[in-house]
Structure 1
C-alpha cells in the first residue's frame, strides 16, 4: 500500500519501506520547486522500495522522471540508497555533504574483503568473543549493503541555500550520526500558520521518539581518534537555537517543539554517560560495556548486526568520557579495558 502525505506548502512525503528493519520506512520528502520536484532522501535500494517510491511520486502528482534534484541528509543506505536510480531515470543532480561524500568514495573504492577484515580487527580489539568475529573471516560480499552508493554531483556546504528555484532551503551541518549529516531549514512561513521559523527536515539527527545511533566514524586508512558523540551533542545545541514551527524527520512522524526535543536528547545522553561511569567502576572492554548497557531489548535477544552496532555506540560513549577526563584505558590491558577516574 502506497502511503503519501501532503504537508502543505508544496511539501509531500512518501513512506519508502526498509526491508527487514524495525524502523519500517524512510520518509522521503517531495519539495515542489520552479524546476520540478526535489527529493529529500530517496530510501533503501531495493526493488520493492523503488516501486513504492515511484508509486508515491505518482500519488503526489509527479513522476521519477520529473525529479530535478536529490538532497541527501546523510550517506546511510536507507537515505542515499536509491539516489543512483533516481538520477538515472531523471537526470537529477544528487548532493551530499563533503564529509559523507568522502565516505561514499571510500566505500566505492574499498574491496569488500578489506571492510570485513577491518571490522573483524575492530571487534577483536573491542573484546568481542571469537564466535562473534568468526563470521567476518569468511564473509559474503552481498551481506554488506551500500557497497556501490551513488557518488554525488555536488557537495553541500554548511549554511548555503541549496539549488531549489523558488524555495529557500538552507543546509545546516549536524555531524554525529554520520560525519556529514545535514538538517535542512525551509525558511518559509508555515503553511498552516504554526508559530515559529519555517520547517526543518531533520533526517536522523532529531527524531520524535528515539535517539539516533551514535557510533564510530570508520575509515580503515585513518587512525584519527574522532568524538562522534561530542559532535552530536554540539550539533544538537546548534539545532536547539532554531525555533522551527515544525520538524519533518526521516522516520516516525512530524512534531513541534524542536528545542524541547533537543533538551530531552541532551538529558538522555548526559544520563547515559553518568550510568556508564557507574558501570566503569570496574574495568570493562567496549564489548563488556555494551553487554551491560540498556538497549531496546535484552542483550541476549539482540541479533548479530545489532550487537555490532551496540559495541560501536559503546565505544563512542567511551571516547566522550575519555575526552572529558572521566575515564581512561587501563595500562597493559589486552583487549583494552576502560575504567572511571
Structure 2
C-alpha cells in the first residue's frame, strides 16, 4: 500500500527513509521532539521515539531497541532538547515489541521514571512455567497449521526467544480514555488492539498530534497476527480500533516508523480496504478447493517479495497473518474448514 492519499508532513524523514539513512532529531512542536533510535540489522532500520515536555514532567514515548548504539542516539537526542535521563519522569510504550520496549528498562534504571503499557498488553510468552512445554505446544500448533516437518524448526518458538526476557515489566497500565499522568501534558490514551493485544495510541489534541506506534504507519500495513495465547479475533479487534483512531484528518500523525503525515481518516480507510482485499484473496483460494491448511493458504497468497522470500521470523508472521484472516472470515459466517487451534469454540467445528 503506497499511502498516496495521505499528506506527508515529515519531508526530511521521508527523504531519509528513501535514502536508507537515519533521519535527524527534530523539534515538531514547542516541547515535542522526534528522536530516531537505530534498530540494527532490521529492514525497519530505526524507531522514532518522541520526547514530550510538560510543566515539571518529561515523558518519552517508545524508547526503542536495546543496544549501546541506540542508547547513545537516544542520549544525544535528549541532549538536543536540553534534557538528561535524570529529568525523565515517565516512559509510555505503545506496545510490547522489543523495538519499542527494549530500552525502557535501561531508561528506568537511569532516570527512576515509571514505565507504562496498555492495560491489556502482555509481554508475549509467559515468564514462568515449563519452557519445554511451551515449545512443544507451539510445535503442535504449527503442525496443525500444516507447516512441513522440514520447516518446523525455522518458525517454532525457540529457547532463545523464551529466555530473552529482558523487557521491562510496566509500573503503570493505561486504559483507553485515560490521561497520561504528567503535569503540563494532556495525552489521551486510545486502546488500539490488533498489532498486539494491548497496543495503545496517544492523542495530544492541544498540539494537534497523534502518536500512533505501529497501529497506523504511512506506507506499511501492520502485521495483525493470530497467536496462542492471544485474542480470539485480532483482525476484528484491529478494524474496531482503526475506527477509534480514525476520527479526523487534520491532526499530524507521529508514527513509530517511517515519517510523519496528516490524513489519519484517509489512511485508516486504506488500511481497512487493504485487509479486506487480503480476506477476499483468502476466500478465493479457499473456493479453489486446493488449500486445506494455513500453510497451504499462505503459500498461495500474494507477498510483496514472493512466498519463497519468506523465512524464519518473517515466515512466522506471514502464517500468523493468514490465520487471522481465516479466523475473521469464519466469524463473519464464511464456511472455513481450516483448523486454526486445537481448542475450538463450542459448536464451531470450522476454526
CA contact (8 A) 1:168 1:186 kept: yes
Q: Is 1:315 matched with 2:323?
A: yes
**Structure 1: gaps spanning 5 or more residues:** 190-197
After superposition, the CA RMSD in angstroms is 2.5
Quote the Cα distance in structure 1 between the aligned partners of 2:48 and 2:58: 15
Counterpart of 1:148 in structure 2 is 166
CA contact (8 A) 2:155 2:313 kept: no
CA contact (8 A) 2:108 2:114 kept: yes
Quote the Cα distance in structure 1 between the aligned partners of 2:268 and 2:323: 23
CA shift for structure 1 position 242? 3.6
**Structure 2: gaps spanning 5 or more residues:** 1-21, 345-349
* Greater RCO (Cα-Cα under 8 Å, separation 6 or more): 2
CA contact (8 A) 2:154 2:311 kept: no
Specify which of 301, 315, 326 is matched with residue 293 of structure 1.
Answer: 301
Q: 1:118 to 1:77 in 2, by over 3 A?
A: farther
CA contact (8 A) 2:65 2:102 kept: yes
Counterpart of 2:313 in structure 1 is 305
- SS of structure 1 residue aligned to 2:40: coil
Q: Is 1:60 matched with 2:81?
A: yes
Task: Report the count of equivalent residues.
Answer: 320
Counterpart of 1:89 in structure 2 is 110
Deviations 1:126-183 (A, max 9, x none): 10011111357894x3356852321111110110111121111000001111111111
Counterpart of 1:324 in structure 2 is 332
Counterpart of 2:143 in structure 1 is 124
Quote the Cα distance in structure 2 between the aligned partners of 1:105 and 1:325: 30
Larger CA deviation: 178-187 vs 49-58: 49-58
Q: 1:143 to 1:173 in 2, by over 3 A?
A: closer
Q: Is 1:246 matched with 2:257?
A: no
Q: Is 1:160 matched with 2:181?
A: no
Counterpart of 2:12 in structure 1 is none
TM-score by length of 2: 0.84
Quote the Cα distance in structure 2 between the aligned partners of 1:46 and 1:238: 34
CA contact (8 A) 2:227 2:320 kept: no
Q: Is 1:109 matched with 2:115?
A: no
Quote the Cα distance in structure 2 between the aligned partners of 1:330 and 1:214: 19
CA contact (8 A) 2:246 2:265 kept: yes
Quote the Cα distance in structure 2 between the aligned partners of 1:81 and 1:94: 12
